[in-house]
Amino acid sequence: MNQQAFDVAVERRASSDRPGVQFIRLKEVLAICGRSRSSIYEAIKKGNFPKPVKLQGRSSAWIRCEVEQWAIQCIRASRPDS
């Protein structure tokens, strides 16, 4: 699969026919992005990663499509010639 086909496949998955917004917890965010918890929160602080949404009390989650779009941007930034 070439880079362009890969990008299209990832974008389709990120904006697929899933109904509505899906919230994901930190464990899944870490699995998607491959970063540590502390680096996630540092990137949020710097404005380089999507902010979580407060659900209630101390509970928060991320919007899946925002995290997937961040991953797509990282892929594109690491492969500028593609």
Structural domain includes residue 52:
yes
Q: What is the pLDDT of residues 6-22, one digit of tens each?
A: 555 556 665 555 567 89
Structural domain includes residue 59:
yes
Q: What is the pLDDT of residues 32-81, one digit of tens each?
A: 999 999 999 999 999 999 999 999 999 999 999 999 999 999 999 998 77
Structural domain includes residue 39:
yes
Please give the residue range of the domain that contains residue 39. 31-82
Q: Alpha-carbon distance 52 to 32, whole Å?
A: 15
| Number of domains the chain is built from | 1
Q: What is the mean pLDDT of residues 19-29?
A: 91
Structural domain includes residue 2:
no
For the full predicted model, state whether its pTM sits above 0.75.
Answer: no
Structural domain includes residue 65:
yes
Q: What is the dihedral of CA 23, 72, 75, 38, to 10 degrees?
A: -30
pLDDT recorded at residue 80: 77
Structural domain includes residue 64:
yes
Element (H, E) at 59: strand 59-63
Structural domain includes residue 67:
yes
Structural domain includes residue 58:
yes
